[in-house]
Chain A
Amino acid sequence: MKPSALLAAVALALAAPAFAQDLAEISLADPRQEAQAVALMDSIRCVVCQGQPVSGSNASLAGDMRRLIRERIAAGDKPEDVRAMLVSKYGDWVSFKPVVKPATLPLWIVPLLALLGGVWLVSRRVRLGRG
């Protein structure tokens, strides 16, 4: 082992205990709660490095949000309540899961309309082919 690699290994070994208790980085003991927390983290947007979920971001504010999410889930809060809390602070934008409300209605309706339009076009084609 090169001296620099050895140094890095020692530094890592020393640094690890400092994070050992930090819920921003370590999993919850209960696997079911951890799964809930991770699912939520995957769908909460990091407000610093936008476009990344907080689960995959190195920004310190993303770490703060992971810690907060794990704490609240461990305390028995429902994931959707934690999401609602974050949305109440940062707006809908912080959640990757779009909500249904008048402003987002087109998002939900347009695919349906497109599907209906497609069915109509195809059914015409079929009828024409037969005729």
Chain B
Amino acid sequence: MNRKVLLWAPFVLVVALFGAFFVGLRNPDDRVIASQMVGKPLPEFSAAAVMPGQPGTASSDYRDGKPRMINIFASWCVPCAAEAPMLAQLKAAGAQIDGIAVHDAPEPLAKFLAQNGNPFSRIGLDPEGRAQIAFGSAGVPETFVVDGQGKIIYQHIGIVEPKDVPMLLNLLGIKP
């Protein structure tokens, strides 16, 4: 009996292993990479001004006690246009949103903002993705919430959807 179990064990193990392979292949590893910076102070970054009349943004701007959102976006990013109405809604409710435009250029950016609206208090240009890497951001759009002490308290990966608006306002300490 004992010997029989021992003889069959490798076979069962191999079948289980191939079962795991099969399941793994059917579910491709398409994972979302969360930033490790959530819960930590803002990294050092600076993104230069690019729109006339709108200042750029840098880590030193975030220690004045006011919570803010930092939206990492790009004019070439299609989903970024889709979240524009929600950003406008957040701004109307009193949220302060700063933008970091990744791999962008003044001209397409101006066109994008003219088309989709400009909810940003500040806009910084990040042509070489330095700010993006500093934030641990893996794509656009992503939205970070920074508390008044300059600590990142939340990362939103992907489009801000209508259902996300109350949650973001709550994080910013704004009563709807």
Interface residues of A (CB under 8 A from B): 47-48, 50-51, 60-61, 63-65, 67-68, 86-91, 93-94
Q: Distance in Å from the Cβ of A101 to the closest Cβ of chain B?
A: 14
* A61 neighbours in B (Cβ, 8 Å): 129, 132-133, 138-139
Q: Which residue of B lies closest to A64 (CB)?
A: B129
* B29 neighbours in A (Cβ, 8 Å): 50-51
* A47 neighbours in B (Cβ, 8 Å): 33, 138-139
Interface size on B, residues (CB 8 A): 20
B31 in contact (CB, < 8 A): yes
Q: Distance in Å from the Cβ of B95 to the closest Cβ of chain A?
A: 25
1/0 per residue, CB under 8 A from A, across B133-149: the answer is 11110110000000000
* B135 neighbours in A (Cβ, 8 Å): 89
Extra contacts, 8 of them, besides A60-B103, A88-B36, A90-B35 (Cβ < 8 A), are A48-B139, A51-B29, A61-B132, A89-B35, A89-B135, A90-B33, A91-B34, A93-B31
* B37 neighbours in A (Cβ, 8 Å): 89
B136 touches A67 (CB 8 A): no
Within 8 A of A (CB), among B141-167: none
Which 3 pairs of residues, A with B, have the shortest CB-CB distance? A64-B129, A89-B136, A47-B138
* A67 neighbours in B (Cβ, 8 Å): 128
Within 8 A of A (CB), among B88-143: 103, 128-130, 132-136, 138-139
* A90 neighbours in B (Cβ, 8 Å): 33, 35-36, 136, 138
B133 touches A91 (CB 8 A): no
